[in-house]
Amino acid sequence: MDHAADAHRTDLMTITRFVLNEQSKYPESRGDFTILLSHIVLGCKFVCSAVNKAGLAKLIGLAGETNIQGEEQKKLDVLSNDVFVKALVSSGRTSVLVSEEDEEATFVESSKRGKYCVVFDPLDGSSNIDCGVSIGTIFGIYTLTHTDEPTTEDVLKPGNEMVAAGYCMYGSSCMLVLSTGTGVHGFTLDPSLGEFILTHPDIKIPKKGNIYSVNEGNARNWDGPTTKYVEKCKFPKDGSPAKSLRYVGSMVADVHRTLLYGGIFLYPADKKSPNGKLRVLYEVFPMSFLMEQAGGQAFTGKKRALDLVPEKIHERSPIFLGSYDDVEEIKALYAMEEEKN
Ligand code: FDP
């Protein structure tokens, strides 16, 4: 660390300080959310460190097969799940956990229960793990609204009832983007301090963008409105320039870019997957929550994404999210289609 150069930046807004400041606005708050968040942050730091070392795995046996001590090493996505489940349970602030990695919800034992339910994808974009492309953790938080035995009904609620949502992107830098319902704020991990520092306060998505992001390999199976929209992106008839295509194939990376640069991210329904691919609780809802908080929109092809009421914990939905004006265009195309039918 260059101490002389760093001396001028000692008044850092860490994520903990930021959340404590927010908490002080609510005198009745007992700090439960701050404690929960600090456990999520710990999970993110742990996974970030494991992801950074993943490329060395074959050399020194960090993931995959057996290490020198003869212990079985875990795959990164399984390891990340264990890390988050343990971090969330040990916070003492959760009752129900839903993870992409686990078929069933986890109900925390009564002595360790708290007032929050957390839905999460511990390591999203898993097909990108082995080639070092950005991947991430996505999470959404609900409040438990009763003191009876918790059930899956406590998370089968519309996204607009989430109290917070966010993601951590393990990319060229490690960034945690969070909303507690008062805007969207981005924190970058300073590896020399081991702290997430507020680097992107009050993120607002541009009202209109010039990038579209979709897996065009599925184009032949798309429905009419999606096909027309993507055609318009490439061959606009109103004299505007064509949009650029960017698709990483990691939702966190594609949504992060969309949030910062504007544009639209689409994972539509198609003939093979009539409900799309992405999962409502821990992909569609948290990202839609962040988009709306940043001034954008999120639409399923039928309605506002956050108004969906999931019936199953691993349910899927088509999703179109991003800049307000760009999502408005796809909404108009679906409305026209509906009028025809
Ligand atoms: P992955 O399959 O690599 O885990 O839902 C998971 C996800 O990645 C998203 O992160 C990503 O946006 C999407 O699937 C990519 O799907 P396609 O490969 O079908 O484009």
For residue range 148-158, list pLDDT tens digits in order: 999 999 999 99
Q: Over 90: is that where the pLDDT of 183 sits?
A: yes
- Closest residue by Cα to atom 12, ligand 1, is 251
Give dist(CA 119, CA 129) in Å, integer: 22
CA of 265 to the centre of ligand 1 (A): 12
How deeply is 14 buried, as exposed, middle or buried, from its count of CB atoms within 10 A (0-12, 13-18, 19+)?
middle
In ligand 1, which atom is closest to the CA atom of 135?
A: 10
Instruction: Work out which ligand 1 atom sits closest to the CA atom of 247.
Output: 20
Q: Who lines ligand 1 at CB under 6 A?
A: 124-128, 215, 249-251, 254, 277-278, 283
Ranges of beta strands (E only) in the chain are 94-99, 106-107, 113-124, 135-143, 164-170, 174-179, 185-190, 195-200, 211-213, 244-245, 264-267, 297-299, 319-322
Q: 15-29: per-residue pLDDT in tens?
A: 999 988 888 887 777
Element holding 99 (H helix, E strand): strand 94-99
Residue bearing the CA closest to ligand 1, atom 16: 249
Computed over every residue of the chain, the mean pLDDT equals 92
Residue spans of the domains in the chain: they are: 15-200, 211-339
Structure tokens at 270: 């198609």
> How many whole angstroms from 28 Cα to the centroid of ligand 1?
41
As a whole number, mean pLDDT of residues 258-273 equals: 96
Report the Cα–Cα distance between both ends of the chain, in Å, rounded.
Answer: 64
Instruction: Say what the pLDDT of residue 68 is.
Output: 46
pLDDT digits (tens, 9 = 90+) for 315-336: 999 999 999 999 999 999 999 9
Superfamily holding 15-200: Fructose-1,6-Bisphosphatase, subunit A, domain 1 (3.30.540.10)
Residue nearest to atom 15 of ligand 1 (CA): 249
Q: Output 127 or 187, whichever has higher pLDDT.
A: 187
Among 273, 278, 284, 321, residue to substitute to test ligand 1 (most atoms within 8 Å of Cβ):
278
Bridge partners for 162 per DSSP: none
Cα 125 to averaged position of ligand 1 atoms, centre (Å): 5
Longest dimension (CA), the chain: 68
**Mean pLDDT, residues 251-270:** 98
C-alpha 153 – ligand 1 centre gap (Å): 27
**pTM for the structure as a whole:** 0.93
Residue with the nearest Cα to atom 17 of ligand 1? Answer: 249
Q: Whose CA is nearest to atom 6 of ligand 1?
A: 125
Output the CA 123–ligand 1 centroid distance in Å: 11
Query: What pairs with residue 165 in β-bridges?
Result: 140, 179
Look at residue 1 and tell me whether its pLDDT is greater than 60.
Answer: no
Averaged pLDDT, 115-134: 92
Tokens of 28: 């009745």
Query: How confident is the model over 6-10, as a mean pLDDT?
Result: 60
- Which secondary structure element, helix H or strand E, spans residue 187, and what is its range? strand 185-190
Phi-psi region of 70 (alpha: psi -120 to 50; beta: other; left: phi over 0): left
**Topology of domain 211-339, CATH:** D-Maltodextrin-Binding Protein; domain 2 (3.40.190)
Please return the burial class of 295, using the count of CB atoms within 10 Å of its CB with bins 0-12, 13-18 and 19+: middle
Closest Cα to atom 5 of ligand 1: 278
Examine the pLDDT at 67 and tell me if it is beyond 70: no
Helices (H) and strands (E) in the chain, counts: 9, 13
Could you tell me which residues come within 8 angstroms of residue 57 by beta carbon, excluding any fewer than 6 positions away?
Answer: 63, 64, 73
Q: What pLDDT is recorded for position 22? A: 84
